[in-house]
């Protein structure tokens, strides 16, 4: 197996135990499921996904390690920034796929266009682009 010589971030997003449907990510962001490990009941243990080459993982929560899915703690511990070519188009697609709008896209004087959404598992995404 070839090693990856490039350093990059690969977020681990915690989801509730028992989840079988993670199609939100493909519908909202065109994410491709690269591989997954499932529990005996067919639920996700770990899934590796890619959004145009950017890898992230979904992992069932691990309470014993203090790693909870956001809806359980009614909050978030991280905001996922996703840089795209068209903020408005990606946000609209995500909303149609089931995301909740937290703040509409707007252009800021510091040179970014950004908007916030909440995915069905409670993760907050900052959809953004340089302008």
Q: Tokens 């800021």 sit at which residue?
A: 108
Question: Which tens digit of pLDDT belongs to each residue from 1-42?
Answer: 445 567 678 899 999 999 999 999 999 999 999 999 999 999
**Per-residue pLDDT, 75:** 86
Edge-to-edge strand list for the sheet holding 54-60: 12-15, 54-60, 44-51, 32-38
Question: How far apart are the C-alpha atoms of 45 and 105, rounded to whole Å?
Answer: 33
CATH top class, domain 12-130: alpha beta
**Per-residue pLDDT, 1:** 40
Question: Which tens digit of pLDDT belongs to each residue from 34-65?
Answer: 999 999 999 999 999 999 999 999 999 988 88
> With 90 as the cut, is the pLDDT of residue 80 above it?
yes
More confident residue, 101 or 75: 101
**Per-residue pLDDT, 4:** 56
């Amino acid at each position: 197996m070839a090693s990856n010589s490039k350093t990059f971030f690969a977020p681990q997003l915690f989801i509730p135990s028992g989840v079988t449907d993670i199609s939100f990510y493909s519908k909202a962001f065109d994410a491709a499921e690269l591989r997954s490990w499932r529990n005996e009941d067919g639920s996700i243990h770990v899934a590796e996904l890619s959004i145009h080459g950017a890898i992230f993982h979904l992992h069932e929560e691990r309470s014993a390690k203090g790693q909870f899915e956001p809806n359980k703690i009614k909050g978030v511990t991280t905001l996922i920034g996703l840089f795209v070519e068209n903020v408005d188009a990606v946000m609209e697609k995500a909303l149609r796929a089931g995301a909740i709008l937290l703040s509409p896209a707007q252009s800021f004087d510091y040179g970014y266009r950004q908007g916030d959404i909440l995915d069905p598992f409670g993760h907050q995404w900052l959809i953004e682009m340089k302008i």
